[in-house]
Structure 1
Amino acid sequence: MKKETRKIATPADKKDSGDQDRKSRTAKRKASPEKKTPMKRRRVAEQAGPSTSSDVVKGVKRKVVQDEEDTTKKAKRAKLLDHMSGDKEQASSSLDSGKDLNNKQVCVKHGKRKATGDDREPPKKKKRNVDQDKKSVADQKREFQARYVEEHQLGEGGCGAVFSGYRIEDRFPVAIKHIPKNKVYCKVADESGKMLSVEVAIMVKLAGEAEGSVGISAPVSLLEWFDLGKELILVLERPVPAVDLQKYKAEYGRTLPEDKAKVILKQLVDAVKELEDKHIFHRDIKGENILIETGSDVPRVRIIDFGLSCFVKQRSLYRVFYGTPLHTPPEWYRRSCYRCGPTTVWQMGVVLYEALHARHFSTERFLAKKLSIKKRLSTECQNFLEACLTIAPEKRPTLEELQLHPWLR
């Protein structure tokens, strides 16, 4: 600012001097181009400074690059907004618009506003694809109906419903998930540049990396998906026989024996560590989203419902909570932010606590010391639970450390 003030004052002070006036004007013309550029760069740097708090959605990043041709300031502001609430963009198509069976918390207002911001691109590109999209919708609808039979409903939430069904050619059991398009607030760009639901993108990524492993990987496999214009249909593997962890626990009474809980937790920790290695944050690991295959002597863990999941970077910090409110990590209450690793470890503690105790877990009740860990559990099991449910996130063990915990060895 001082330089700019001096530059403006100098020609005014030498206004009536002959040769000095001409030299001053010449100096001013030469100096201006050199000084304006650094000033602009300095402003951009100030805008970009805080924008390191969260991961960036590919779709938003692509549009930000295009918007830079208009004004640098607007582009940086868009990027800053994306960083501050990037997890809203990545929460995928299974955002819930209110209370539902899964008891998930969302910020629909923010999601809609962000979606509107993402539509700043010229609408002509979308209009050119209307006829093609209509044709594609008709084709995809015929393909879906020709390949699959949909049966009874398995569940319903704030953003869609899941039905049982089977593949016609071999009667392979499937789960068919319907997601209304108006509930898909969060998207990323696929390889062709088309905007895609984050849930679909993550399931496609997992299916691609585990090709030929249907029935083998812990996350259930995405077999196929269809864009039917007003809704997305995801055709997923449906393990049979299987029940969710809550129902599995009920078969043993009100709690699981410790040895059964250990078998399940060991598989679960390994599964979420593998997701973390693939830069995927599920964000809502809980009993209802854990299937237990019961067709063999050893129960087998399968993970479902990636509706609130997102892609994650190593140091990503999230400022909008997605997941089950009762299981919110303590740092959200105390710092209004959370990270992938510590949050997932907290969820491991919640899952184990509910498996071994005849009550539902609530973070607020736990913080108020209204929930306690059973003393009749083994010392190692108690230590595992206490480690996962450590209040300070930086003091919780990592998933890798949990894998090496004596209780799971």
Structure 2
Amino acid sequence: MEKKGCVLMQRYELGRLLGQGTFAKVHHARNLKTGMSVAIKIIDKERVLKVGMIDQIKREISVMRLIRHPNVVELYEVMATKTKIYFVMEYVKGGELFNKVSKGKLKEDVARKYFQQLISAVDYCHSRGVCHRDLKPENLLLDENEDLKVSDFGFSALGESKRQDGLLHTTCGTPAYVAPEVINRKGYDGAKADIWSCGVVLYVLLAGYLPFHDSNLMEMYRKIGKGEFKFPNWFSPEVRRLLSKIMDPNPNTRISIAKIMQSSWCRKGLVQKPVIAEVPMKEPAPLDVDAIFGANEDSNSSVESKQELSKPSNLNAFDIISYSAGFDLSGLFEQTDQKKEVRFTSNKTASTIISKLEDIAKRLKLKIKKWDGGLLKMEGSTEGRKGVLGIETEIFEITPSFHLVEVKKSSGDTLEYRKAMKKDIRPALKDIVWTWQGEEQQQQEEPPELGQQLPQQQEQELPQLGQQEQQPSLAIPVHAVAP
């Protein structure tokens, strides 16, 4: 049993207990090398195995490898022994937003700031194909600067978890914050369900209580299904209009995140943040998720998968976010068709994707170069209006059978690049593309086989009103260590 003052893996000195649940406990800790404070979640492997939560943890790891945002709790690394799993996370000092709102309603400007940060984080998650599905004040933390951090992705889902109808079918979340279509169990769009939950959170921040509450759970479900709630008299007309559009019981007419961010109420007081420069970051060794649960050796060894020269790197979320608009909420209002990069997911192997890119390069008479980690660069043979056209593609492994591919212009004329993308490259990629990121389209094929990496979550009953979820929360894994 871990005690205060003990040293984990010769790297972290364990401190006071911060919280405890059924399957995990969280300690404050100090990095012995840097002195930085961290939070370490310690999960009992035997308990997790007994209750069959392995798939949920693996799914959450896969999800969080895609997410790194200033308003999302960061996980620095994952370590494992024969009996325990350790998640070394960002230490968020301020506690839950729930604790603040439980003392009473917040001022409108304060609530707006938290809502702006929540929408920024959720929009970024959706751009990565991730739906949280359990947004509530208990899962929103505050740091020392009173900035919001989204946590607990235990119920999250990736886009490829959808069935053939393009919808999610797992009933999950906390009843008072769940969208009507989730309760109806007829399939739902996870992103639209998250928007509803954001609206309930905003209502709670401004009112100090829930919009839907009843001692009878079925009566509360009825009210949610009809969008039956009342505004307190102190709600401004602007926020009333916005919340009416967010908590629209019809998901097809519910307001989108883009329009929420364009609303006059949400834009009010928005501060232009300085541009954050790209910082080179060394990509850690890939994490073998199965090795975390199979670490039974008695010697200290690193549970890492060996990477072949041509194998794509695990998704480096920092590289993606450094040139996305996620750092700056105001930047999210730019027109998407002005971006110089596109991304798509594929359920093909890395070698198949690379082979397809080589065929395209040959057809377009482009020279192709390769770098380790799935980075390829294609260059034209003739000068264009603004020099030689250069196109870079980078392949990120989410699981061995599921990849995210980014294509962007590295040099040359933007119009020439867009023309090549529209007329030649995109049509040629059609047979390997699962979905183009950021585009709403129904998929006509079955989801990729992800094995145990990204399993379908089993149908489960909604928890009772007020019941706290006791699921271990994971984030961006870096590596594992076995004793």
TM-score class, shorter-chain normalisation, is 0.5 to 0.7
Matched, 1:326 2:176: yes
Pair 1:170–1:365, CA change in 2 (3 A): farther
Which aligned pairs between 1:376-395 and structure 2 lie closer than 5 A? 376-395=234-253
* Equivalent residue, structure 2, for 1:205: 66
* Equivalent residue, structure 1, for 2:83: 230
* Equivalent residue, structure 2, for 1:244: 96
Matched, 1:146 2:3: no
Q: How many residue pairs were aligned?
A: 248
Aligned pair partner of 2:37 in 165, 169, 173: 173
Structure having the higher helix fraction is 1
* Equivalent residue, structure 1, for 2:200: 350
* Equivalent residue, structure 2, for 1:163: 27
Q: Partners in 1 of 2:64 and 2:12 — Cα distance? A: 19
Matched, 1:284 2:141: no
Pair 1:270–1:323, CA change in 2 (3 A): same
Contact 1:366 1:372 in 2 (8 A): no
* Equivalent residue, structure 2, for 1:304: 151
Q: Partners in 2 of 1:370 and 1:337 — Cα distance? A: 22
Contact 1:289 1:303 in 2 (8 A): yes
Q: Partners in 2 of 1:186 and 1:273 — Cα distance? A: 28
3-state DSSP of counterpart to 1:224: strand
Instruction: Read off the aligned partner of 1:244 and give its amino acid letter.
Output: E
Q: Partners in 1 of 2:222 and 2:38 — Cα distance? A: 38
Give the number of the structure whose alpha-carbon radius of gyration is greater. 1
Deviation per CA, 1:365-403, whole angstroms, max 9, x where unpaired? Answer: 743777422232111111111111111111111112211
Instruction: Read off the aligned partner of 1:309 and give its amino acid letter.
Output: S
* Equivalent residue, structure 1, for 2:475: none
Compute the RMSD of aligned alpha carbons. 2.7
Q: Partners in 1 of 2:54 and 2:157 — Cα distance? A: 10
Structure 1: gaps of 5 or more residues: 1-141, 189-194, 211-215
Deviation per CA, 1:125-158, whole angstroms, max 9, x where unpaired? Answer: xxxxxxxxxxxxxxxxx99431112222222334
* Equivalent residue, structure 2, for 1:338: 188
Which aligned pairs between 1:5-404 and structure 2 lie closer than 5 A? 144-181=8-45, 182-183=47-48, 185=52, 197-206=58-67, 210=68, 217-240=70-93, 242-250=94-102, 253-295=103-145, 299-313=146-160, 316-362=166-212, 364=221, 366-367=223-224, 371-404=229-262
TM-score, scaled to structure 1: 0.55
Runs (4 or more) in structure 1 with deviation over 3 Å come to: 142-145, 184-188, 313-316, 360-363, 365-371
Deviation per CA, 1:267-324, whole angstroms, max 9, x where unpaired? Answer: 11011000100111111111011112243xxx31111112222222487422221221
Deviation per CA, 1:313-368, whole angstroms, max 9, x where unpaired? Answer: 48742222122133221112334432211111011111111111232354537437
Contact 2:133 2:172 in 1 (8 A): yes
3-state DSSP of counterpart to 1:247: helix
Contact 2:171 2:183 in 1 (8 A): no
Q: Partners in 1 of 2:157 and 2:96 — Cα distance? A: 23
TM-score, scaled to structure 2: 0.47
Contact 1:341 1:399 in 2 (8 A): no
3-state DSSP of counterpart to 2:171: coil
Pair 1:152–1:254, CA change in 2 (3 A): same
Q: Partners in 1 of 2:121 and 2:169 — Cα distance? A: 25
Pair 1:229–1:176, CA change in 2 (3 A): same
Pair 1:158–1:366, CA change in 2 (3 A): farther
Contact 2:48 2:54 in 1 (8 A): no
Pair 1:205–1:230, CA change in 2 (3 A): farther
3-state DSSP of counterpart to 2:64: helix
* Equivalent residue, structure 1, for 2:385: none
* Equivalent residue, structure 2, for 1:113: none
Pair 1:202–1:143, CA change in 2 (3 A): farther
Contact 2:170 2:185 in 1 (8 A): no
Contact 1:160 1:177 in 2 (8 A): yes
3-state DSSP of counterpart to 2:252: helix
3-state DSSP of counterpart to 2:117: helix
Instruction: Read off the aligned partner of 2:42 and give its amino acid letter.
Output: H
Deviation per CA, 1:179-236, whole angstroms, max 9, x where unpaired? Answer: 3334364667xxxxxx971222233333xxx5xxxxx721111111012233321110
Contact 1:327 1:361 in 2 (8 A): no
Instruction: Read off the aligned partner of 2:84 and give its amino acid letter.
Output: E
Pair 1:336–1:152, CA change in 2 (3 A): farther
1:177 positional shift: 1.2
Q: Partners in 2 of 1:220 and 1:153 — Cα distance? A: 19
Pair 1:143–1:163, CA change in 2 (3 A): closer
Instruction: Read off the aligned partner of 1:161 and give its amino acid letter.
Output: K
Instruction: Read off the aligned partner of 2:99 and give its amino acid letter.
Output: K
RCO higher in structure (CA 8 A, sep ≥6): 2
Pair 1:372–1:183, CA change in 2 (3 A): farther
Contact 2:101 2:204 in 1 (8 A): no
Q: Partners in 2 of 1:143 and 1:205 — Cα distance? A: 30
